[in-house]
Every structure is written in C-alpha cells, then in structure tokens.
Amino acid sequence: MKNILITGGAGFIGSHVVRLMVNKYPQYNIINMDALTYAGNLENLKDVELKQNYRFKKIDITDEKMVGRLFGTEKIDGVIHLAAESHVDRSINNPLEFIRTNIMGTVNLLNSARLAWKDNMEGKRFYHISTDEVYGSLGETGLFTETTSYDPRSPYSASKAGSDHLVRAYFHTFGLPVVISNCSNNYGTHQFPEKLIPLAINNIKNNKQVPIYGKGENIRDWLFVEDHASAIDTIFHKGETGETYNIGGNNEWKNIDLIYLLCNIMDKELGRPEGSSEKLITFVKDRAGHDQRYAIDPSKLVHELGWKPSLQFEEGLTKTVRWYLENQQWLNSIVSGAYEQYYDKQYGDR
C-alpha cells in the first residue's frame, strides 16, 4: 500500500489526476489536499468521493504546521503537486497571491517532504507539475524543449519558474527525489470558465460577446486534460529522478482560428444556424505582456517513456462542449457572485 498526496486535486487538472489514480490504483491511498480557493470545487470529484482509497483534506499548502503534520500522520510516500494559482490575468491583478501559493507553498511542501523522508528516501517521489509558460514566448518557429532557457514574462509564469528552480535545488542540495513536468495549455471538462475555452463556451451559450485579446493572433498548443493526466501517471511511475519532461500534443492553434472552430461546433450542438456564434466574437484590449506563441516538443516523453496523446483536437473540443452543455448546474454554481465581480473587472460589462 502506498500513500500518495495529490495537492490541488479539487481543481481542473487535479480532479482528473485524482480520478485516474483512485480508479486505476486501488492499492494506493489517495489523499487530496486542497484549500478550496475559488478554483477548487469538490463537485468535480463526486464520482470518487466515496471510494475506499480516497480522502480529502482541506489544507492550504502554505500552512507549515498542517502540512508537516499531514506528512507524519498519513505516512506520505509520494507527492503529485498541482496546487497553484493558475490564471495569468489574475496574476497581473494580484501578483503577491501567486508568490505566496506557487513559491512559498511549494517550498513548504518540499521542506515537509524532506523532513518526513530524511532517514530513508528509498521509494519516495516528489512530482512537481509545471507549465510551458516558464520558457517564455516563441517567435514563428521553434519549439520548447527541456533544455530551453527559462524566460518567464508574467507574474504567473515567473512564480511557476521560481517553484521549478526550488524543486531542482532540493534535488541537488538535499537529494530529494524529485521529477518535474512542463505542460502546454489544457482543455477539457471541469475547467473554470475564466480560461479561454470554457469562457467562450459559456458566453456563446448565453449569447454574450466572446472577448478575444488583441487580434487573436497569439498561438497556444492545446492538450486534452485526460491526456495530461495520463502523462502525469506515466511520469510519476516511470520518470527518472531529477529529470524534466515536456508534455504536449503537437496541436498549435491561433486563438482566433480556435474560436472559429469552437463557434462551428457550438452552432451544431445548439442547433443554431451556421455562423450565428461567430457574430459574438469581439476584439478587446490585449493582455499586458501577452506571450505570442507557445509550442512544446514532447519527444523525450514520447520516446523515453512511451506516452502519447489519445484524442484529436476536434474530437476533444466536441466532447468538452457537450459536457459543458450537459452540466449547466456545475457552471451555474460557479458563475455567480465572485465570478461576476471578476468578470466585470476584467471585461467591463460585456
């Protein structure tokens, strides 16, 4: 029996990782530790909450006492660390919260793991989940590899870069058995509707304008969230200690082209005349410091560990749209109060 701590398991990606681990590994105890910020939602885990090998702990990763105690009482063998502040626009409005959670929180977890495992690191693993945004912004060509120099340009990516450096420092300085992955943009079910794809789905459904920053020419490399979860499973079990793996599905899209595709799918799924959703597209003021292009070279993960993505983009996007349309209650419970305030601040009254 192994005791695996997953941080941020009530969030978008974390909930998919918890679901996969609980269902696939009945021999593991999965402990989900999450502070339940605006982005954390236990509704995401309704289907696994009663499983014998699953437990939830509401703890902030920056809480030294509670995190330290949990490592002792639960005899943690492995950590999959996803808890973070994750939205670039929010990091522009409130950088300090990102430093607190993403940097201080990560160091607190590293310290607790180090202390708990100090007598025997055998069989232990601290897996830190990071983003391709730490590498900065690409021009028209080239891909991010594991050796691309760090060049973060938003408070979010700078805080993730800081946490990556600290995780590596604990490997080199203290011999903590770490592994890191940096993934491209995720999409799929249960994503908070502040990020581009669920925000656009929700707005189109409600006949609200779809805000596109600048000219919509920025490029992102999109991966279905369940494929990210399967990559995390692969790296957690097969990755080399001290190594970094880039995760991506070779799926680059200009924002505006992605939104055209999404509008097309929405028209079909909602039974609206072709071209009606496109009319909602509205170009708005660009994001400050908006990175032009992200693109991942995943070949190390593919060749060394044998992982590959399972879904084509259009298939994944259609699956995602259907889930949001069938789960209006999930959306309604989120798109209230604090979300409305955030939305008005970010986009005016559009």
Distance (Å, rounded) from C-alpha 204 to C-alpha 91? Answer: 26
Contact pick of 91, 137, 186, 318 for ligand NAD (by CB under 6 A): 186
Residue 16: strand, helix, or coil: helix
Q: From ligand TYD, ligand NAD, none, which one binds at residue 42 (CB under 5 to 8 Å depending on kind)?
A: none
Q: Per rule CB under 6 A, is residue 201 in the interface with ligand NAD?
A: no
Q: Which parts of this chain interact with ligand TYD (CB under 6 A)?
A: 88, 185, 195-196, 199, 211-213, 218, 220, 255, 287
State residue 101 phi and psi, 5-degree precision: -75, -50
Site for ligand NAD in 265-304 (CB under 6 A): none
Out of 82, 88, 176, 258, the only residue in the binding site for ligand NAD (CB under 6 A) is 82
Q: Which does 218 bind (CB under 5 to 8 A by kind): ligand NAD, ligand TYD, none?
A: ligand TYD
Q: Which of 34, 60, 85, 132 is catalytic?
A: 132
Residue 148 as a binder of ligand NAD (CB under 6 A): the answer is no
Among 81, 119, 125, CA closest to 243: 125
103 binds ligand NAD (CB under 6 A): no
Cβ pair 155, 93 in contact under 8 A: no
- For residue 206, give the nearest of 343, 94, 310 by alpha carbon: 343
10 binds, among ligand TYD, ligand NAD, none (CB under 5 to 8 A by kind): ligand NAD
The residue from 54, 127, 156, 170 that is catalytic is: 156
Measured from the CB atom, the residue of 121 and 305 that comes closer to ligand NAD is: 305
Q: Is the dihedral of CA 187, 192, 196, 202 positive or negative?
A: positive
Element (H, E) at 98: helix 95-98
